[in-house]
Amino acid sequence: MPTRSLIVLPDDSPREILDAIGRARHSLRVKMFVFSDPDLLEAVIAAKRRGLAVRVMLNPARRDGRDDNVAARAALLAAGVNVQDANPRFDLTHEKSMVVDDTVAFVKSLNWETKNLTETRDYAIVTDHPREVAEIGACFEADWHRQDFTPGADAGLVWCPDNGRARIGDFIDNAHKTLFVQNERYQDALVIERLVRAAERGVKVHVMARAPHTLKADKLIEGVGGLRILDDVGVKIHKLKHLKLHGKMFLADGVAGVVGSINLAPGSFDGRRELAIEVRDDAVVERLHDVARADWANSHPLDLSDAGLLADLKDRQDVVEGLLPSS
């Protein structure tokens, strides 16, 4: 019977990912935004040495010129791994996925960099459901060959820039009692509207975000504005203590969850290759619920008042102008 399982970082180690690469017998397809962890790099190279058909698709340089994958790309190419930049159709490829032997797939919020394995709250879903594995594989092939990929109305997974905004909106709309959300960015108008409506119909919405000072200058106004709208309607907004939030996770009513790479921002929905998966498996959802509860207990409210924002942005006075009412 097909199964899904959950990896929670940094609580779990990357052992399950490394073991899956080590058990691969035929093929390995990796699509990654940032790839720099030396253990994962060595595992992929070792798979190539065992004779596997290994292909790795990496996000190319960002718009600011920064390329996070220079060293990994060079090491993989030197080892004979077939490496290619991600599809240039997209502003960037933020998807983090792996397909092993066309039988198992990983859908992740985490990059393959050491800090996402050891310092950040992150998640991965492992699935051997044939339809899901085939869908991830089909998208990989389309992006690899620079072809269109249309998941269709009956797609099992959540894809951007295709069905992502609609699927996330529907997920929020279908929450009845509780909704936990962990995300770095709250900037998309539709998602904010759906969260507001959820709160207004009596859903207990718990939002976990990063502090405003972590946002880029050109995203600060809309990011803070989105959080303040939610705060105005009584949504509880917290920040993790002692752990950085990088995971992108929804949990509704303790019965359904979404895990993947999608930030709640227009750019993610409209211009980036992103992937998430909705799960209802009892064991996976139960653990997501336990982690969400524990993270909430290990967090504190974000102070989104004028004074709170000024305190948070004390070292970024260049971006405060226009964010707060003039005195």
| Nearest of 138, 156, 215, 217 to residue 183 by alpha carbon | 215
Residue 85 CB coordination number (10 Å): 14
Three-class secondary structure assignment of 192-220: HHHHHHHHHCCCEEEEECCCHHHCCHHHH
Helices (H) and strands (E) in the chain, counts: 11, 17
Query: Mind listing the pLDDT tens digit of every residue in the chain (327 residues)?
Result: 899 999 999 999 999 999 999 999 999 999 999 999 999 999 999 999 999 999 999 999 776 667 889 999 999 999 999 999 999 999 999 999 999 999 999 999 999 999 999 999 999 999 999 999 999 999 999 999 999 998 877 788 999 999 999 999 999 999 999 999 999 999 999 999 999 999 999 999 999 999 888 877 777 778 889 999 999 999 999 999 999 999 999 999 999 999 999 999 999 999 999 999 999 999 999 999 999 999 999 999 999 998 888 888 876 666 666 566 655
Give the DSSP per-residue string, 74-115: HHHHHTT-EEEEPPTTSSEE---EEEETTTEEEEES--BSHH
Cα 261 to its chain centre, rounded Å, is: 2
Which are the contacts of 214, defined by CB distance < 8 A and separation ≥ 6? 184
Give the pLDDT confidence score for residue 61 in this predicted structure: 73
